[in-house]
Each structure stands twice: as C-alpha cells, then as structure tokens.
Amino acid sequence: MVGSVDEDIRKELKLQEAKGVAVFEVIGNSRADYAGIKVRSVIKEIDKTEIRNMMDFGIAIKKAMKECNFTLGTYEPADPGDPVGWGVNFHFVGCKRD
C-alpha cells in the first residue's frame, strides 16, 4: 500500500520536500516483500523514471509490471541508532515464474 508524500508525511519522515510515494504497508510473500522494500520507504524512481507523485507512480508501475523485471529506487530510514540517517537503496523486483 502506497500514498503520496504530503506535508504531514514529509515532516514525519524529515524529508526536504513533499515529493515521491511513501510505502505504508508491504504484504508478506509479495513481490515488494521479496525485493526488500520496507514500510516508511519513499519510492523515488522506477526503472530510472523519476517518481514525484501518485500519477507518476501509476504510469511507471503499470509499464514496469508488464515488462516483469524492474528496479525500484527508494529512500529508506536507517536502522535505529544509526547516526547516518536515510539511505538510498535500489531493489530488483522480479517476476515469480512457476
């Protein structure tokens, strides 16, 4: 489950600007779960396409899902106690083939 990064989310996650798509929930055993996407991550790109809002996300994810395998770039909160803070991560989201 994802949603727009609004001003409240921007403040909560201490982001510089209200831009991107926030991850609110990751369903277990889903493609997102297998790819290592975390709750509180902010999706910033899909296959090198910048994600600024839900419209960008919808267009990019629809295209990526058709192509099956894609990369997803996120900003993610650091582990508790990590002084560095947020980090950029790239996730490979693959098809589950039988």
* pLDDT over 60 (residue 21): yes
> Rounded to whole angstroms, how far apart are CA atoms 58 and 79?
29
Structure tokens at 86: 């947020």
Tell me: the pLDDT tens digits for 67-87?
889 999 999 866 665 555 567
> Rounded to whole angstroms, how far apart are CA atoms 54 and 74?
15
* pLDDT over 60 (residue 97): no
Q: Which domains does the chain have, with CATH numbers?
A: 2-93 (2.30.42.10)
Per-residue confidence (pLDDT) for residue 67, from 0 to 100: 84
10 CB-near residues (< 8 Å, 6+ apart): 17, 18
Quick one: pLDDT band at residue 10, thresholds 50, 70, 90? confident
Q: pTM for the complete prediction?
A: 0.84
> Rounded to whole angstroms, how far apart are CA atoms 34 and 80?
22
Question: Quick one: average pLDDT of 29-54?
Answer: 93
Structure tokens at 45: 């790109």
